[in-house]
Amino acid sequence: EDQVTQSPEALRLQEGESSSLNCSYTVSGLRGLFWYRQDPGKGPEFLFTLYSAGEEKEKERLKATLTKKESFLHITAPKPEDSATYLCAVQARNTDKLIFGTGTRLQVFP
Amino acid sequence: EPEVTQTPSHQVTQMGQEVILRCVPISNHLYFYWYRQILGQKVEFLVSFYNNEISEKSEIFDDQFSVERPDGSNFTLKIRSTKLEDSAMYFCASSVELGMSEAFFGQGTRLTVV
């Protein structure tokens, strides 16, 4: 069964304190792995798509990496505005649907 | 910046009533989706829609649910006879390509069934 597990569930960081969020997945043929940011009461906001092991993508203070079993979202020198829930999702080949993890709730304090 | 628009933002309905949730996808997008998120749980796929027909649906999307693209801009989700367990945040999404590459989600409709 295709599934996604994210850790930790919650993460509290001081402003400027870099860290990483983990997304472990099992999927029957990966089409893509997606990272989204979700603010309270809002819809998921697209961040990255990764398609193959070894791929990396960056956007501002965020960098996503992918292996055959997991993905990491690295946050460098976070700011309070980076506080949100970060969702990981996978899509298998021959399907339209995304399978989401439960997310990591990130809080960054000044 | 183009965005997916959903209305209403919040809907309260009595159990057994029909509800229609509305979405305006981004104008040049061809693929449309509905997801839901029960409070405190994962975002779950409901249905995908392309070329005026359902492309894929989940086990959640039973006979009580239907989708429609009544005109060139709107995409609707209808729940025929709501149940308490239908209470959730419903998200519409759209993408240019098949699959979810750079798919954009709307802000959601919070459905409360009482």
Nearest by CB: A44 against B41, B43, B101: B43
pLDDT band at B103 (very low <50, low <70, confident <90, very high): confident
Residue A77 has pLDDT above 90, yes or no: yes
Of residues A80, A77, A75, A85, the one with CA closest to residue A110:
A80
pLDDT of residue B45: 96
Local structure of residue B85 (DSSP, 8 states) = G
- A vs B, Cβ pairs < 8 A, gives 60
CB contact under 8 A, A96 and B43: no
Residue B100 has pLDDT above 70, yes or no: no
pLDDT of residue B83: 96
CB contact under 8 A, A96 and B56: yes
Residue-wise pLDDT tens digits, A84-100: 999 999 999 988 899 99
Residue of higher predicted confidence among A102 and B96: A102
CB contact under 8 A, A42 and B100: no
User: Over chain A, what is the mean pLDDT?
Assistant: 95
CB contact under 8 A, A46 and B104: yes
**pLDDT average, residue stretch A56-80:** 97
**pLDDT average, residue stretch A15-34:** 95
Residue of higher predicted confidence among A36 and B70: A36
User: Which one-letter amino acid corresponds to residue B57?
Assistant: K
Of residues B42, B43, B41, B49, the one with CA closest to residue B65:
B49
Q: Rounded to the nearest 5°, which phi and psi values hold at B84?
A: -55, -40
pLDDT of residue B99: 61
pLDDT of residue A1: 86
Q: Is A104 buried (19+), middle (13-18) or exposed (0-12) by CB count in 10 A?
A: buried
Name the region of A96 (left: φ>0; alpha: ψ -120 to 50; beta: rest).
Answer: alpha
d(CA A81, CA B28): 31
pLDDT of residue A13: 97
Residue B102 has pLDDT above 90, yes or no: no
Residues of A in contact with B102 (CB under 8 A): 46, 49
- Contact of A78 with chain B, judged by CB distance below 8 Å, is answered with no
Nearest by CB: B107 against A34, A43, A46: A43
